[in-house]
Structure 1
Amino acid sequence: MTDAPEVNPAPAKAQEAHPLDALTGGAFSAPTSGERSSRIREWLASQPAESVLQEVFKELSVRDKGAARPVRERLDELKRAKGQEVIAAEWAEKAQALLSAARLNIADAMAWQRDAAKAGAPLSREPLSVLKVQLADRVKVIEDLQHRVQVQREAAVLLAQRIEVLSTKPWRDAHAVLEGLRGDVQAWQDQAQGLTSDAAWASVESRFPPMLDASKAQLLVVWEAFQVAITQALAASEDVNAALPTVPVWADELRVARGLPSEAAEAAAAAAPKPARTSRPAVPPELRNKASNIVRQALERLEKETAEGHGKASAGAAAALRAVLKDHGRLIDAALEHQVHTALVAAGELEGWQRWSADQVREALVGRAEALLNRPEGQALGGRKMQETLRALRDQWKQTDQGGAPNHALWKRFDEACNEAHKVVEAWLEKIKADAAEHKAQRLALIEELKAWAQSQAASTDWKAINRALYQFSDRWRDAGHLGEKAFAEIQPLWKDAMAAAAAPLEAAQKASLAVRHAMIEEAKALGAAPVLRVDAVKALQQRWQAEAQTVPLDRKHEQKLWDTFRKPIDEAFNRKSAEREKASAALSERDKVVLDAAKALEAANASGDAQKIRTAMADLDAALRGQAQAQQAVVAASESAAAGAEAAQAAAQAEAPTDAATDAPAADTADGAEAAAAAEPAPAAKPVAPRKVVAVRGDDRPGMKKAEPAPAGRPGRPGERRDGGAGARGPRDDSRPGRFDRGDRADRGDRAPREDRGPRLGDTAFRAQRDALEHAQLALRKLAAQAHGEALTQLLTAWEKRDPAQLPGTQELGGRVSPAVRSAWNQALSKAPQGDASTALLRLEMAAEVPTPAEHISARRMLQLQLLTRRNDPAPAQTWGQDAAAVLASASDPATARRLQNALKALLR
């Protein structure tokens, strides 16, 4: 122990904290990733500045990307917000420009909202939300003002109708309602003035101000004329000398009040004859009925159009009714007048009904447009179908707007749904545009490839390969994808020019080939028309055609037509030749008929199954064939006699002309002398052939191979003979010997037997008939022989089994291989009782017949073969099979032994 104070070791250096650790609440010093993410989220709740966020993300993303993800998301959100602020400011400026303009177009206001939504502007946040409401209110005010203009127009029409109706009633009734009507007219003018003085009047559509002005001018004209007419009627009622009003009904009323006839009565009185003065009613019934019918027809038309809801048609029908009422209103009764007034009022109320009906149609269109967005995934419409559907919906909306006042709220919903659904169309259009650009590039590259290929194949003459390559280029062009009409019209001429330039050499070669083929067709026609068909020329011409067809290819249909044209005359010539041959073969000669009858008789004998008849028929057929040779000899004899007669006639002619004979005597004598000398001279004797010198001798005893016998000389001129003049060499060529070039001397040669004279050649029918008959006869004889052999063998086995010599077949039935001595030995063996062992005899029979031995007796057969090899002087089994069979027949019969004997004798008795 020591009293020295204890020295404490120096503390370890503490890890320095990150500069941003305190700012982020210890996110950098947190031990785990989960804690870092939790502290980062708590720090983000304090809404830090963007610069600080970027710095923290830069440092934290290196250490922990998972914890840095919320920071990156906040940065992206700020970036989007900043971008939306820029977009919001841009569209807010546009909205302010629309609101500050003196005249606001409704279409521009609606387009602002649609385009802003497409651009991604935040319409739900200020200031765009406020501007959107302001624009909507401004549009609503304008639409309301336009609607009021339409109402004022209809009100003006109704006021004018009231004034017109009053002009058909008594003037006192019209004077009674004058003050009320004046108040209504003044109220209408005040309302119209209020419309024009409205601040939004400059923003209404251009068609509404002229509409209001026209209605105002028309109403004022009617009202002023009505006031003047009332004033005149009042003055005429007080003063009989005052002028009557211009209204016909009022003028007639005042004229009647003064005691004067009405205009209608005066006209009727003027038209009536003077002598016959009869009193007539003021208005004739015919005229009143006619007027009532005309007004009723116009009224029915108006009521029909009003009931069907046709706005424009009802307005036209109302105008027509008012025009008819002007001419005939004074002639109708009060009930019809009341119906007319009620119909005119109903036609004025139809405007409200039309607006309601149009809104119903618009709501249905909005539902269909919104349904496009909510379709199931499997039933979604494609780009083209969506485009056509949207176009149809917008056309229907336009038609609905033409028949009634617009509805901004429904239009807003409809437009938003259509714009959202149009995104599918935009994606489809972009895809089509990209595909079209790609297809166009592929086609341009294909054109350049075709041009390069054409330059590389300029010197080639392999027309089949060129034609195949051109077809491949055409297929690739056809499969290069879809292009628009305009783009295809631009690029198609380039392709045609390149294809024409590439196919020009081939087309020239095809043109030349066509000329060659047409020339060969003419040559084929000449060959076909010739009296004698030259088969070799036809074959050569066909080979030339095939060579040309293989060299230069043509269109398949055209080439087939040319080939048919080329083949037709040759086929006709061959058909004529075949017809002639068939005709000649059909005409059988007498000899052919005899042979054909003999062949038919042989076929009948074959069918009978009698061997004797078959052999007889075969002999008859052979005799018929030999009869042909006899007939040929008769023909040759007849020709020789004819030749002798011709020589006698020639000798007589020479005797009558001595001068000519003397002139030609030297040459004739020379020729005859040479022929006589050649005939009298004996044939040169063959030179003795010296035997060849033996060089090596084989040690066998084959004929001609013994040492004392020389090898037979070969045929002169055959392979292996010597050509050096030695033994067997061919002598010098002697062209002077008789018959050197005559084929008839072959019969006199010693190296070949004379050919049998078989007579003239049979016809095709007779030859085939006799050949088939002989084949069938031979087959039938073989079959009968096999049957007879089997029957004889069966009888032999039966006689052995029953030990009955009487059942033993005869020598003829057993065949030529069984001699009478062998049959007698078999007969003796069957006559005695069974004795002895037949095993060795059976083995010898199987060895002689070369048939297999049962497996249990194979060892005995091998032992017997070894014993036979040691007995050199004993006869072979093939020589003693008859005695072996007798030994077997002398033994007892059993099924196994009988089977072995049957197999052996089946081969030996054949």
Structure 2
Amino acid sequence: MRGRVFFRPTEVTQASLKSPDSQALDALTGGAFSAPTSGERASRVREWLAANPSAEQMQEVYRELSARDKGAARAVREKLDELKRARGQEAIAAEWSQKAQGLLEQPRLNIADAMAWQRDAAKAGAPLSREPLAGLKAKLADRVKGIEDLQHRVQVQREAAVLLAQRIEVLSTKSWRDAQAAADALRADVPEWQTQAQALLEDPNWPSVDSRFPPLLEASRSQLQVVWDAFQSALAQAVAADADPAAPLPPVPVWADELRNARGLPVEPAPAKPARPKADPELKAKAAEAVTAAIGRLEQEIAQGHGKGTSGAAAALRAALKEHGKLLEDKLENQAHALLASAGELEGWQRWRADQLRQELVAKAEGLFEAAPAPTPASAPAEGEAAPEAAAPAEPEPAVRKPKYGGRKMQEQLRALREQWKLVDQGGPPNHALWKRFDEACNEAYKVVEAWLDKMKAEAADHRAQRVALIEEVQAWAGQNTTALNGDWKGFNRVIHQFETRWREAGHLSEKAFAELQPLWKQAIQAAEAPLAAVQKQSLERRHAMIEEAKALGAAPQLRIDAVKALQQRWQAEAQAVPLDRKHEQKLWDAFRKPIDDAFQRKTEDRERAAAALSERDRAVLEASKALEAANAGGDAHKIRAAMSALDAALKGQAQAQADKARADAQPTEGTAPTEAATEAEGAEPADPEAAAEGEAAPAAAPAPAKAAPKPVIAMRGDDRPGMKKTEPAPMGRGGKFGDRRGAPGAGRPGDRGGDRSGRDTRSPGRFGDRPQEDRGPRLGDVAFRAQREALEHAQQTLKKLAAQAHGEALTQLLSAWEQRSADQVPSQSELGRAVSPAIRGSWVKALQAEPAGDPGEALLRLEIAAEAPTPADQLDARRRMQLHLLTRRNDPSPAQTWGEDTARVLATASNPAVARRLQNVLKVLLR
């Protein structure tokens, strides 16, 4: 049955509460087990769950209630799943909290370990947004932030030390007096730098700093201290040399030259460069080979643009120069120094380019959030209300930022940005300041991903629970429905499809969970649809048998329509009873109908071949019918009548006879060819028998002239009544026997030609069969008969339309001639029709030629009486008087006999639109 539900949950009533456990649980849940409907049970279960019962109680209620009403037990199951997830997250939180505490308690914290803790905890599903993990996460972030800040400060101090050393070196190139003036500022800056460097060493996070930073800071401290001590010693010596001419000059060349000039002493020439000692040629060759190899490697790295490779090659070349510099020639040494300078420039460009790329990545990471629209300010006070007192300006609210993307899209963006950062780090030296900004932006955006992951996990758990419940429902339904109710297999199949639709729409699952549940679902659905599969197998066998029957019927020489209809009805009944897959069922139907369609196609082809084999007479009728249709389309009445005559001749066989005669004339027999005159005389009866006999005996020397055929003698009775002509036969009166009387049964009307498709006369032959019957030839084919019938019908309709059109045009032309008083515009006799005689038309022309005079009222009334046309309301009384007057004048001609003269009287008056309308309505009837 259509729309029937095959599975219905068992109703829970008081009678079903037999066990003491059920009664106790019913009392515990507030009557959830004894409620009469599923909705009330679900409502009472939700009220009971709002009181936060224990997990053991909920488990017991779910175990008992799920067997009775799964819908009401769903809320209990969801609550249990929620508790289970909460317990699982608590265990995970405890585990990762212990790991975070261990990291925080270590004196030396590795930044990579802290970041790995957050990443691994998120992957494990730990609730990082809830305590205690949220607090531990914040502590680790602060600790990492402090370490990164400390490392950044080390780099800043190193750069500051380099700047101070450069300031001191620059002073050595200027006057010693300028250096003495700048020494006071340096005495304050250098100790300040030392104090800041010592503060870095005393920071609690200093043990966690990367191992490469402490040596850098220590080297900067020692180098700056050496340069500062040398500067102070040289400056003190310069001051002493300026005060005492006998004191030694300072070791700074610029200062020494300045003091020497002040003493008036000549400037000492620059010491000559000492010549290099001669070395072993073999050692020089080895040194040149080692430095050349280092130069080639550095050139290759520079050409390829490798940042880290260039730094390593440059370091190798410096080491080679340091080891073999004394053994090298000046040309090779200069080449090595120039290449090192190029490497330094390339390294600086790569660092600049890498920082530029990092800044773009930082902008992209920070652009993952966009500013939300500012909140609408408070509205102004209404009219009549007191304005609020002036208050201190409120602090500006922080801008609300919202993410640009959702969870999945944000996760993909973050993954792509981090991969790009790794590629940039591989091509150039790191930049910790930019990395800090980039990591903070990524961590802020990852909060969106975490929320999305939590939501997806909750949805996945819910989807899994729904699918498990659906599998259990299908299994229960399969146990209760081993066959279709009342044989409704379509309803059975509909329920199966509904289960499959619910499975497809049950939500997304991970690959692992889906692979786990899919075999269970297939097993349950196959068990549920097993009865339908068995019935479908039997139905397939029956349908294949019907296909074979259809092939046998289609191959039979004579197609049995009744057997085909019965077979199709059986197929339809089978298709409506047992449903199949749509595509498979369509293929079976195509295979079933193909042999029957082929048989009908063969029958149609045979009929068309028979119809194509037309006789000569049928062809002549078809050609005449086509010519008549062409004339109908042209709209010429003369051509239509001529075509109708040609069609009638073709029907009677005259066209074929004429064609046969023409062929006979064109091909004469042996002997003397008969002349046209002899042929005509051959059908005439000779007046003198003797002459005829002589003509038969005499040879045909010369053809005799043709004689006119004698007129038939018609018996007639003279009519001596007044006004009648004696030369015309008297009309036949009533009389005769055996159906000769006009209008008797079987007698045709005058002009009525009975006949069938062959044109034979089917009227009564009269007494003793003495009436001659015309032989109209063989029977017409179906195509020719239908063609000539349709052509004649169309011709008659076209002639009627043309006649009506001509009638309307003639009437319009007549009224126009009356309005313009133009006798030349009066329609011709043929246009007016047979109803108007030449005398009447002449009276109309004379009326239009004269000056308008008179009243058309009486003439119009007579015309309306003659045409039985309606009269205007204001003239009805006059019409009644006219009719009474006509009754008193019986011998006078009636209006129907004098309508032509009455029309002439109207035309003799002046034209009037109202009178013209009345005249037009009358003449529409009278001119027909």
TM bracket (short chain): 0.3 to 0.5
Structure 1 or 2, whichever has the larger Rg, is 1
TM-score scaled by structure 2?
Answer: 0.46
